[in-house]
Amino acid sequence: MNRLIAAVALSACAGLAAADTIDLSYQGTQRGGNFNVTVDGNTSGTFAGQIRQNLSNGTGIGTQFNGLSAITYCADLEQQVFTNSAPITYNIVDLATIPEPSSVVPGGMGPTRAAAIESIYSYSRNVLGFDLSSASLANSFAGAFQLVIWEIVYDYDGTLASLDITSGDFSATQTNGNPLTAAVQGWVDDLINNGVTYNVNANNLLGLYSDTYQDQIITIVIPTPTAAALGLLGLAGVATRRRR
């Protein structure tokens, strides 16, 4: 499995071009839960957690992902996820350049926030021992993990003091408006306090960009009975996408 990760990473070292795309076909949600979230003063109910996708019709670097299944996490609350199973073409991009368009973080989250998201992925895998693609991941953790991604995207300024799930440009509650459950809040606190700065030099993630639908963060899954997940896919040398 490690050799496969290394091989894919090596072939990506030349960077990404405008022709690097992949089609995502929505297959439903997996682990996580429903929450009320507020972004820039606008509150709505949403699912937070794993989204199942089938990958096909890749071009450029995207050809390596054809026929795979994936779990994505969302980096974008200002557009809607496409919940029809018909394929939607996404550009494969540097994580720092999404979400876009965004009124809160125009031009994308930037390298500091992207590094923090890379870090919580690494912390979850290496310290907590969790497979973020697993169908047995605790709902409370999957939900908290997604909430922390959004908190980083919309509020992180490089200091832990800027991360507070109850205030700022992003905040979250239970669907009834009450504070998060103890289980979810406990994971939120762990990820913020211990995960955000765990490994800011990790380089394991991809951004998936759409003009129309929610931008996504991807982990790749090997569809075999014995290897449930490839885990974090290391793609080095990712280049910023060409602006339209």
Per-residue pLDDT at 101: 86
23, 87 contact by CB (below 8 A):
yes
Assign 124 a pLDDT band (cuts: 50, 70, 90): very high
* 85-115 pLDDT tens trace: 789 999 999 999 999 989 899 999 999 999 9
DSSP 8-state symbol, 149: H
On the question of pLDDT at 15 being above 60, the answer is no
Residue range 179-203: mean pLDDT, rounded: 96
Cα 62 to Cα 12, 20, 82, 90, 217, distances in angstroms: 10, 6, 20, 10, 14
Per-residue pLDDT at 18: 63
DSSP helix/strand/coil, 177: coil
Nearby residues of 219 by Cβ (< 8 Å), 6 or more positions away? 70, 71, 72, 73, 121, 132, 133, 205, 229, 230, 231, 232, 233
On the question of pLDDT at 21 being above 70, the answer is yes
**What does the domain layout of the chain look like in residue ranges?**
2-221
Per-residue pLDDT at 244: 37
